[in-house]
Amino acid sequence: MTMLNAITISIGDELLSGKTTDSNNAFISQQLGLLGIAVSKKLIIGDINENIKKALNWSLNEADVVTITGGLGPTHDDITKVALCEYFGVGLTTYPDLLEKLKERFAKRGFKFSESNISQAEYPENAELLYNSVGTAQGMHFFHEGTHLFVMPGVPREMKAITTEHIVPILSKLTGAITEHVDIHCTGIPESTLYELTKPILDEYQGLKVAYLPKHFIVAIRASFNSAFGGENQAKLDEIFSRIQSLLPKNVFGKDEDTLASVMGNTLLSKQATVATAESCTGGLIASLITDNSGSSDYFKTGYVTYANETKMSMLNVREETLIEHGAVSEETIAEMLSGTLKNSGSDYAIAVSGVAGPTGGSEEKPVGTVYIGVADNDHQVIRRFQFGTERIMNKALSAHTALNLMRLFIMGELS
Amino acid sequence: MTMLNAITISIGDELLSGKTTDSNNAFISQQLGLLGIAVSKKLIIGDINENIKKALNWSLNEADVVTITGGLGPTHDDITKVALCEYFGVGLTTYPDLLEKLKERFAKRGFKFSESNISQAEYPENAELLYNSVGTAQGMHFFHEGTHLFVMPGVPREMKAITTEHIVPILSKLTGAITEHVDIHCTGIPESTLYELTKPILDEYQGLKVAYLPKHFIVAIRASFNSAFGGENQAKLDEIFSRIQSLLPKNVFGKDEDTLASVMGNTLLSKQATVATAESCTGGLIASLITDNSGSSDYFKTGYVTYANETKMSMLNVREETLIEHGAVSEETIAEMLSGTLKNSGSDYAIAVSGVAGPTGGSEEKPVGTVYIGVADNDHQVIRRFQFGTERIMNKALSAHTALNLMRLFIMGELS
C-alpha cells in the first residue's frame, strides 16, 4: 500500500509575528492521520503574493496532498485567491448562486451587504468549490498534476466544517490505510525515568513508533502503528496500555481524551459520590476544569471561590483566629476550608486550595508559588504543601492539576 | 538599515501528527519581532535525520537567523544533535563541567542519574553552549557562513529561558530596528463592518501594516510600523488607537495585553467597587478569568459555582417555585441569582449565568447553546438571552466573555 504524503501550509502575517498561534494545522494533521496520510512538513508564511506562489510550487511538486488555510476573508490582507489565479494562469469568476446566498445571509443577520463582500462570491475558474456551512468564505479543491490541493479560510470553525464535510470524504476514497495510536497519560514521574521504565515493554513491539510528550506535570506516551505495516494494531495498542498501566498504576491515570478532571469524575460516578471545591488562588479554575466534562452535574453540585478572607469565614466557617494566627495560605486554613466545604455543600468529598499565585504577595516564609492543597472525605483529610514557580497563570494551572490528581488518588484509596 | 530575515524550525513527530500544537514559534517570533527581525517562514518537520539536514541546508542558505526547537531531551526521539554533527561534519564531545552539574541536579531532586542522561552532557564540538537555567538540555549557538543558528529544547519553559537569557542579548547587538505595533481589541461587531468603518482612518498612515484577527467574539486590529520606515511610530500608534476608540467607543474595549476581564477589573478598581459571580453553565470559568489578573483580590472576593438546583437555592436563595415553574435556565432564575449574589456576597455588582452548555440537556424551547446572562447592582438588573453553538467548551467560553463584556458596559453606564 502506498502511503500518501501531505504538506500543510498556513498563510497569515499574524502567524509569523507570533501573537497568534496556528491551531488549524493540528486539526488537519489529525484528520489526515486518521486516513493514513502522513504530514511530512508544515510551512507558515506571510501574506505575500510571491511567497504564496513559491510555496504552491514547492508543495505541489513534493506532496500528494496539500492543504492551505488563511487569506480568504473580506479584509485586505486576503490575497490567497489572487496568488492561486496567477499560479494556475486563470482568472477569477463570480458565482451568481453564491452571491445570492451571501446577500441572504447578511440580510438575515441584519448586516449591510457591502462592496467588500462581493469578492466573496468570486473564485478561480478552475476551482471546485467546497461550500462553507458556517461562514461566507468557501473552500476550494484543485487537482493539479497528480496532487490534491485544498484551500480553506483560516477561521478554525470554518476550516473544521470544510475539512469534515468535504475534504475527508474526498480523501477517504483515495486511501485505505489508517494510523492508530494511543496516548498513555502519566503524572508524578519525570520523563527520563518514564522512558527507562517503559522502554523494555515498548521495544517488544515491531513497527511501533513512540514519543514522550511532557506538558505541565503530565507526560503522554504516544504509541502508534500504521496499518500499512500489518493488522491487529488496536488490540496491540490496548495491550500496551494495559501493560504500562499495570507497571505504573499510580502514575498512569488515563489515555487518549482522558484528563485528570474526567478521570476523577468517572471515579466519582462509579462510587455515586459527589465532590465540592473551595478555591482561593486557583480562583474557580478547578471547578471550570471539572465542568468541562459533560455529565459533571452528576458528581459536582457546588463550588466556592473564596478569594477573600471574609468569604472564607462566611462561606466555609474558617475561624478568624486561624486566619490571623496562621494566614490564609496555611495547613490550618485548608483544614477548616475542607471541613466547611463538606458540611455546607453536603458533598462526599472536598478539594481546597490556597496559595500565593504571584507575582506579588510572596514572603520569605511563603514565597510566590507556595500552595497548600487539601482533599478530604468525612473520615479524614490529606493536606500537602507545594512550591511551584513564579508565573501566575502557570501556578494556577499546576495547582489545579495537582489538586485533581490528589483527589483522584484519595478516592481510589491510594493517598495516605 | 538592513532588515534581518529569520526562519524558525520546530522538530517533532508529535507536532506533525496534530495532537500537539506548537506554541514555541509564537514566542520566538515575538522576541525576534521586538528586535526588528522578521520571521519570513516557519517550518515544522518530523524526527527524521534526513529531513533535519535538508531543513538546515535550506534555512542556513536563505536566512540571517535560524532557530530550531525540539529534539534535545533524554528520550530516543531526540536526534537533532546527531543531525547537526553530520551536517557540520563534526563530532560530539562531552563537557565534563556539564556532566557534574547534571549529576548534582539529579541528586538534589532525589532522581537516579542514568545512562540515558549522560548524552545530555554531549554536544557538537563547534557549538557555543547556551546554558539552560531551568532544565538539563542546553541550547546551542552556531555561526555558519554569515548565518546565526540557535538550537533549543522544545519544552516551552526551557526554550523561553534560553531565548531571553542568551539569544535576545546576542541578536540585540546585531540590530537596532524595532517593529512597534498596537492590538486594538473590539467586540460586538463583525469583522467586515469593522474593516469598512476603520479603513478610512488606517489608510491615512503611510507604511502602516494592518491585520484583522478574529477570535471568539473579539476582533483584534493589529496595526504595526517598522522603524526602518521612519520614527515617531509609538506616538502614531497611540493616535490610531485613540481615533478608533473614539469612533467605536462601545466596541473598542482595550489594547495589547488587555482582556475583557482585566478591563472590567480596572473599571471596578477606578470605582473602588467589587463584583461577585454566580455561575451555573460556565462552572467557575468567569471567576477563573477574573482571577487570572494580578491584583484581582481588590475587586473580587466571592464566586458561587451553583451547578445544581439545590445549590442555587441554598447559596443564592433562589426559590424552589421559580426553578419548578421556569427552570434553571430562565430569566426568572437569573434575576433571583443576581439578587442572592448581591445580598450574600455584599459585593457592589453581580454577574449570573445559567444555560445549556451541551451536548446533552437541550429541549425544543431551550436548545443546546441557550444561555441567560445577567448583570446587576443594587439599583437595577439587565438580563439577556443568547443562542450560542453546539460545542460545550466553546459555549462556556462565549458565555464567559459575553458576561464580562456586559458587566463592563453596565459599570460604565452604557447598557440599558
**Residue B309 Cα distances to A86, B316, B323, angstroms:** 61, 10, 7
Q: Is A34 on the interface with B (CB under 8 A)?
A: no
Answer whether A193's CB lies under 8 Å from A177's CB.
no
More confident residue, A328 or B107: A328
**Torsional sign, CA B30, B31, B37, B39:** negative
Answer whether A288's CB lies under 8 Å from B282's CB.
yes
At residue A132 the predicted structure's pLDDT band, cuts being 50, 70 and 90, is confident
Mutate to test the interface with B, among A32, A44, A268, A315 (most CBs of B within 10 A): A44
Q: Model ipTM?
A: 0.71
Looking at residue A1, its pLDDT comes to 39
Contact B305 A287 (CB under 8 A): yes
Q: Is B403 on the interface with A (CB under 8 A)?
A: no
Mean pLDDT for all residues in chain A: 88
Q: What are A76-130's pLDDT values in tens digits?
A: 456 888 899 999 999 888 888 888 888 887 776 667 777 767 877 888 989 999 9
Contact B15 A42 (CB under 8 A): yes
Residues of A in contact with B179 (CB under 8 A): 17
Query: pLDDT over 90 for what percent of chain A?
Result: 54
Residues of B in contact with A277 (CB under 8 A): 284, 305
- Tell me how far apart the alpha carbons of residues A61 and A347 are, in angstroms, rounded to a whole number: 62
Looking at residue B204, its pLDDT comes to 95
Instruction: Indicate yes or no: pTM above 0.80.
Output: no
Half-sphere exposure (Cβ direction) of A160: Cα atoms closer than 13 Å: 10
Q: List all residues of chain A from 268 to 307 with a beta carbon under 8 Å from chain B.
A: 277, 279, 281-288, 290-292, 294-297, 300-307
Mutate to test the interface with A, among B4, B54, B58, B75 (most CBs of A within 10 A): B75
At residue B231 the predicted structure's pLDDT band, cuts being 50, 70 and 90, is low
To 5 degrees, how large is the angle CA A85–CA A91–CA A92?
Answer: 90
At residue A351 the predicted structure's pLDDT band, cuts being 50, 70 and 90, is very high
More confident residue, A245 or B35: A245
Looking at residue B173, its pLDDT comes to 74
Q: What are B271-328's pLDDT values in tens digits?
A: 999 999 999 999 999 999 999 999 999 999 999 999 999 999 999 999 999 999 999 9
Residues of A in contact with B351 (CB under 8 A): none
Which domains are delineated in chain A? 5-172 (3.40.980.10), 179-255 (3.30.70.2860), 260-411 (3.90.950.20)
Q: What are B149-158's pLDDT values in tens digits?
A: 999 988 888 9
Lowest mean pLDDT among A166-180, A194-208, A277-291: A166-180
